[in-house]
Structure 1
């Protein structure tokens, strides 16, 4: 298992809920059009008693730190994209195969 980024670990150190509960709430809040009160209800259905204001505080604390951590890990993406696609016969059935790749600016490597 990967270790946490030190900045993220520092923010999570004082929080009293399990890490998976915190990250699940923050992820759902960001990824889906859910209100904080909907998240409170969803977590209550799963047996976790958490207030909507607590989820809001987690989002305020964690989102800037997570954004910085993810930005550092983000791989470079080029401006030129290529898509290869074909049909193959596998065990008598036709299957669609595709692959996308980009030309990374500067080094000419194809991913």
Structure 2
């Protein structure tokens, strides 16, 4: 049985700290939103404390979440979309598995074979397993 997580030297118990970091990272809330949610539950903590907790414990929390994430599917779809940001044309490269899980995205100003190969190599390098099938057209976004 794993030992309960404790954070010696901190005023709040580990459950409150981990819940605040969880709210901040999982739901992409602002620090002040997390502060308000905790205040509604009777926990008075400043947004600056939540920010420091996120900096201190956020990487460990993200690593645990990545470990629990399900494996990606064996059929991938690669998609390219044209975007205009402030009047400048950019290209959004996206890799999605058959379950709709976004594997990786890249936004860049160039559109050429070298850029596509670099995106694909980076995607494959980050994963321990390779897809059986790669579809380059026909992704129903």
Q: What is the TM-score with the length of structure 1 in the denominator?
A: 0.54
Name whichever structure is richer in helix by fraction: 1
Task: List gaps (5 residues or longer) in structure 1.
Answer: 82-104, 106-111
Residue 18 of structure 2 is aligned to residue 23 of structure 1? yes
Quote the RMSD (CA, aligned, Å).
Answer: 3.2
- Counterparts of 1:41 and 1:71, CA distance in 2: 24
1:50-65 equivalent positions in 2, closer than 5 A: 50-65=45-60
- Confirm or deny that 1:13 pairs with 2:45: no
Instruction: Tell me by how many angstroms 1:33 deviates.
Output: 2.7
1:28-62 deviation per Cα after TM superposition (whole angstroms, max 9, x unaligned) = 00011311111111111110000000000000000
Aligned residues: 78
Name the CA shift for 1:61/1:76 in 2 (closer, same or farther; >3 Å).
same
Q: Distance in 2 between matches of 1:32 and 1:75?
A: 16
1:47 aligns with: 42
5+ unaligned residues in a row in structure 2: which ranges? 76-128, 130-141
Q: Separation in 2 of the partners of 1:31 and 1:60?
A: 15
TM-score (norm 2): 0.44
Match in the other structure for 2:137:
none
Deviation at 1:2, TM superposition (A): 2.6
Q: Residue 2 of structure 2 aligns with which residue? A: 2
Q: Which moved more, 1:72-81 or 1:23-32?
A: 72-81
